[in-house]
Structure 1
Amino acid sequence: MESPLFAFPLASAVLFVIIDLTLWQWVDARHLRWKMLVRLVLFALFSASLMDGGLSPLFPVPEGFTPARHTLATLLAIVWWLFGARTLTALAVVILEPRIGGKGHLLQDLMGALFFLIAVVGAAAYILDIPVKGLLATSGAVAIILGLAVQSTLGDVFSGIVLNATKPFRVDDVICVDDIEGKVIEIDWRSTYLLTSAGSMVVIPNAMAAKTRIVNLTRPGHFYAVTLTIELPVRLRPSLVLDSLEKALQGCRELLAKPKGGAVVKNSGLRSVEYEVTGYVKSRDRRGAVRNQLYDLIYRQLAASEPLRQEQLLSKPSSRQSAVLNSVGALRMLNDEARGGLENFMHLKSFAVGTVVLHQGVVPDALMIVESGVMTVAVERPEGWCEVGRMGPGEVMGETGFIDHTPTLARFTAMSECMVYCIARADLDPWLDEHSEIRGALAGLARYRAQARATMLQQYKPADQVQSGFLHWLRRRVSRVEPPQ
């Protein structure tokens, strides 16, 4: 018994084509594999309908058909070739999707163009019975003429093919091409489109991108460089400047320990020396903030270095202690008379690398001001010591001993060779009674550090483990049983 589906084979073939076009347009693209499976089934049914109607895509339409039926059969035979090319293109997309991630459209377009070119030639040769050799010869001559006319465009197209094959960058990568930095948002037949940090669109021809140097800032993605250029007077000794720059790198907690950053002399002139400072961060989005922090740390370390300090003392008569007091934000409100009185109580101490300057849990008996060097601040946790911050020139330690006589909340250790001014509590207490505003400033500093410590420890708080399994379910069920009254 003949199936009702093939009672009218040509009409059934038209119906299958309409169903395929409708489903492909309306079904969600997330179900690409199911769409591909349905298309293969519809293509098989479409082919079976043509065969049942006495048609073969490899032979011309039989002469016995009526003119209307002959025209419809010819169109359906041509559609079979185009339908097959479209099915092969979609199948190639499904196969290549895990590799290209759905973002490499150029390779898909080239494969689709090749499949459709074969389909057009096949339909012309088998269905329309056109001499293919003459057609290919004519199309070859036309291709040569067009190739000469659009030589630059073809260069961009083939360069795009090379870029898609070698994949030096992909969509969503941040690259630098010819000193232009931006995020790749699209790669088409001719050009690569970059979105810069200023929000502008940069269109780079593929031929240019293939010939120039490409720096991919996204891959390998383990770390990102932060580079600064500092220009200083030539009279400053380079070894002392490099030491200050290294201390500034140590003082920036966000910089990675591996790979280790460094500072080098980049260029030297008659009046100035140019230094390059390089560090590495984990997140590309933090480069700007770390760069600003490094500039501030470099300024403070250079200001605390011996050459600049001597230069400042020669240009403006003042003591070494006064320069340190001016660098402390909580003490800048002092007038010259009060500063002179406080300088008499300041005693300079030196601490080697690794020396604990102030232990955790100890009531400080002196106020300490860092003149030079880097201090690391750590708190004790069950799993060990955890670093919560770093300190540089002009920062204060031990303020809790003068506010409410409470012990310190952290341990302060010299990360580099440090010079620290100490003011004993016995000398400072009477002086603070006369300057209550300084005591209030130290109290505000203590509150700020306590809040910062609490916030930092909250980030390291381990997440509660969710218990699962049969025993946990059994305990929960037993705990819900109420005891008898």
Structure 2
Amino acid sequence: MNPTDRGMLFGFGVFLLDFLAWRFLTLDREWARFGIRSSLFLILSYVLWTIQISPFHVAPWADQPIRHLLAQGLGFLWWLQAAQISATILGRIALPSELRRERLFQDIFRAIVFLAAAVAAVSYVLELPLGGLLATSGAMAIILGLAVQSTLSDVFSGLVLNATQPFHVGDTVAIGDIQGDVVERTWRATTLLNNRGNFVLVPNSAAAKASIVNLSRPPQLHGITVRVRISPTIRPALVISGLEDAISGTADVLADPKPSITALVIHRNFIEYEILAYVASADKQNGTQNEIIDQAHLQLNARGIYLGREQPEGGSREGVERLLRNIDMFKCLNDAQIAQLASASVSQRFSAGELIYNVKPDCPDEHRALCIVAEGVAILLAPHDGKDIELQRLAPGDAVGRSGVLTGVSNGIKLRALSNVSVFRLNKDAITPLLRQFPELAKEMLSDLLECQAREAEILREIPSQETERGGVFQRLMEGLRRLHGIVRR
């Protein structure tokens, strides 16, 4: 085998290595792969130069068909590698950084480079007339265009979408009835990851015709709409007041833009109200919407407005009893015991900004009381690093002061009215008879107290690390309860 034939076989071996590097070499850095392929391209160029084969001229062995064919093949492979290297370099230089992240533009740019390389290879290696080649390719393009008309529609629609930039990879969008995160954009389709964890391919032609809502723009503003229908026998001002408190009781709702409540429709069977609020990120929308609905249910019930039925009759005492029955720590009591608590409660009203609860650790036991929010929204505050931080927003049925009224130990917390708030107080003397008659109530109230303290500790990053510690705390609290209320161990 003469040196020319060995050189051509070596050239094909270099191309085989290049193919294997493209197919199987997995390096984290793109430039490392590019460096390896560029080195193999330079080696192939050197091999062609040493055996006197030029990719810019026809092969010199026209009288030797096999050698001539192999030389033409090497010429074509050289142009293929040149197109690959050029597409990478020119893509970095010509395409802006935001377009380099879009696969559609990368594919189109690479297709243009490879098409130019193919035309050059046919022209130089085969020495075919370029005019005839272009005419033939034009006719073929028309035929192919008719055959792949829908595909071309996707391609051009993709170009329009990339030019107008209604969304980027990573955005959360709704395209027609389909919602999800954009994970990829190609020449044919946009791939979304929906909330079920499935990939949904939306053809670019369909996306261009559909309404597109970008849920990630602006990045710090996402709207939530909740609609509720209430009986027309209930005064709208009362309903709107309850819905306003429901928004105030939802911590993730932004204050700016200001939430709004609108009475949309008045009908003989209902009045429809719309709540429009905003959150800072798209991933908070569902949770915040659920919380708004829950708060609306609490605030409307606190005003005697029950969805699905008329406003019940009854005075304020009946309203206190209804509220007590819905509090977890009092669910073990019967109707007579609930009525006993309700009769011992004292109702108070506070304006927005007023301090509702601020019992010091050294205050007399007779001043300690359990404050239960009956209407409105209050903020529970705790000192931390020299300032008060918000622990929780209290809605109707939420209580504060459990530790002081049960064990005689008051924590350093405050309760301040966020809106107009109505509370009723149960002092130590109102609870002591029930604790003595019904010891199970003490366990329920202490368990509720521990859960509240755990939530507060989690916010303050002081969560107990062992379950045994909870048991020890429970026993200490139980001993304090027995001492404060004079309960004899049974």
Identify the TM-score tier after normalising by the shorter chain: 0.7 to 0.9
Does residue 420 (structure 1) correspond to residue 420 (structure 2)? The answer is no
Please show how residues 236-275 of structure 1 align to structure 2 within 5 Å. 236-275=234-273
The residue aligned with 1:325 is 324
Between 1:90-99 and 1:415-424, the stretch displaced more is 90-99
Residue-pair matches, total: 457
Whole-angstrom CA distance in 1 between matches of 2:199 and 2:39: 44
Identify the residue that residue 388 of structure 2 maps to in structure 1.
385
For residues 100 and 65 of structure 1, what CA distance do their matches in structure 2 show? 53
Hey, what does 2:32 align to over in structure 1? 34
- 1:128 matches 2:126: yes
Provide closer, same or farther for how the CA distance between residues 157 and 171 of structure 1 changes in structure 2, counting only shifts above 3 A: same
8 A contact 1:372–1:419 mirrored in 2: yes
How far is 1:102 from its partner? 7.5
> Is residue 172–residue 216 contact of structure 2 (8 Å, CA) maintained in 1?
yes
1:398 aligns with 2:397: no
Pairing 1:154-169 to 2, within 5 Å after superposition? 154-169=152-167
Given the superposition, is the C-alpha separation of residues 69 and 339 from structure 1 closer, same or farther in structure 2, using an over 3 Å criterion?
A: closer
Residues 325, 338 of structure 2: 8 Å contact kept: no
2:233 is the alignment partner of 1:235? yes
Alpha-carbon offset, residue 286 of structure 1:
4.1
Shift of 1:139: 2.1
Shift of 1:414: 0.7
Structure 1 residues 261 and 429, CA, compared in 2 at 3 Å: closer, same or farther?
A: same
What TM-score, normalized to structure 1? 0.83
Within 5 Å, give how 1:15-414 maps onto structure 2. Answer: 15-62=13-60, 66-92=64-90, 99=97, 104-305=102-303, 312-314=311-313, 319-359=318-358, 361-362=360-361, 363=363, 364-414=367-417
Higher alpha-carbon deviation: 91-100 or 106-115: 91-100
Q: Residues 422 and 22 from structure 1, CA distance in 2 versus in 1: closer, same or farther, beyond 3 angstroms?
A: closer
Moved more, 402-411 or 242-251: 402-411
* Distance 1:356-1:69 versus aligned 2 partners, 3 A rule: same
Distance 1:241 1:312 in 2: 12
Instruction: Give the deviation of 1:215 after TM superposition.
Output: 1.4
Report the secondary structure of 2:460's partner residue.
Answer: helix
CA distance in 1, matches of 2:96, 2:132: 41
Cα deviation digits, residues 304-331 of structure 1 (max 9, x gap): 1266699644289973332333333323
Q: Give the C-alpha shift of residue 348 in structure 1.
A: 1.6
Q: How far, CA to CA, are the matches of 1:179 and 1:329 in structure 2?
A: 41
- Secondary structure of the corresponding residue to residue 461 of structure 2: helix
1:267-286 Cα distance to aligned partner (Å, 9 max, x none): 44332222222334445444
Matched to 1:338, the amino acid is: Q
Q: How big is the shift at 1:438?
A: 3.2
Name the counterpart of 1:480: none
- The counterpart of 1:454, out of the listed 454, 457, 474, is 457
**CA-CA distance at 1:440 after TM superposition:** 3.3
- Which stretch has the larger CA shift, 128-137 or 279-288? 279-288
Please state how far the C-alpha of 1:378 moved relative to its aligned partner: 0.9
Structure 2 alignment gaps of length 5 or more: 464-490
Distance 1:430 1:356, change over 3 A: same
Q: Distance in 1 between matches of 2:190 and 2:71?
A: 44
Partner of 1:444: 447
Kept in 1, the 8 Å contact 2:406–2:428? The answer is no
In the superposition, the TM-score normalised over structure 2's length comes to 0.82
Q: Is the 8 A contact 1:301 1:393 kept in 2?
A: yes
Q: Which amino acid aligns with 2:432?
A: D
Alpha carbons of structure 1 residues 323 and 18: separation in structure 2 relative to 1, 3 Å: closer
RMSD over equivalenced CA pairs, Å: 3.3
Contact preservation (8 Å) 1:313, 1:319:
no
Q: 3-state SS of the aligned residue for 2:192?
A: strand
Distance 1:265 1:56 in 2: 81
- Preserved CA contact (<8 Å) 1:36 1:91: no
* Greater mean alpha carbon deviation, residues 377-386 or residues 47-56: 47-56
- Structure 2 CA distance for partners of 1:39 and 1:6, relative to 1, 3 Å: farther
| Structure 1 residues 189-240: Cα deviation after superposition (integer angstroms, max 9, x where no partner) | 3222333323455332201212222112234443544332212222322232
| Code of the aligned partner of 1:245 | L
Moved more, 320-329 or 242-251: 320-329
Matched letter for residue 397 of structure 1: V
Alpha-carbon contact 1:360-1:379 (below 8 Å) kept: no
State the distance in 2 between where 1:308 and 1:16 align.
80
Matches within 5 A, 1:443-482: 443-458=446-461
Deviation at residue 350 of structure 1 after TM alignment: 0.9
Distance 2:283 2:338 in 1: 42
Distance 1:336 1:137 in 2: 95
Is the Cα–Cα contact under 8 Å of residues 256 and 279 in structure 1 kept in the other structure?
yes
Q: Once the 2 structures are TM-superposed, how far is the Cα of residue 137 of structure 1 from its aligned partner?
A: 1.5
SS at match of 2:273: strand
The amino acid that maps onto 1:417 is N
Q: In structure 2, how many angstroms separate the alpha carbons of the residues matched to 1:158 and 1:123?
A: 28
Query: What secondary structure does 1:293 align onto?
Result: helix
- 1:228 counterpart SS class: strand
Q: 1:15 offset after TM fit, Å?
A: 4.0
**Which residue matches 1:479?**
none
Unaligned runs of 5+ in 1: 461-485
Taking the aligned partners of 2:195 and 2:443, their CA distance within structure 1 comes to: 43
Amino acid at match of 2:350: F
Gap change, CA 1:322 and 1:56, over 3 Å in 2: same
Deviates more, 1:153-162 or 1:93-102: 93-102
User: 2:437: which partner in 1?
Assistant: 434
Q: How far apart in 1 are the matches of 2:63 and 2:201?
A: 55
Cα deviation, residue 116, structure 1: 2.0
SS class of match (1:458):
coil
Given the superposition, is the C-alpha separation of residues 409 and 55 from structure 1 closer, same or farther in structure 2, using an over 3 Å criterion?
Answer: same
Report the alpha carbon displacement of residue 114 of structure 1 after superposing the two structures with TM: 1.6
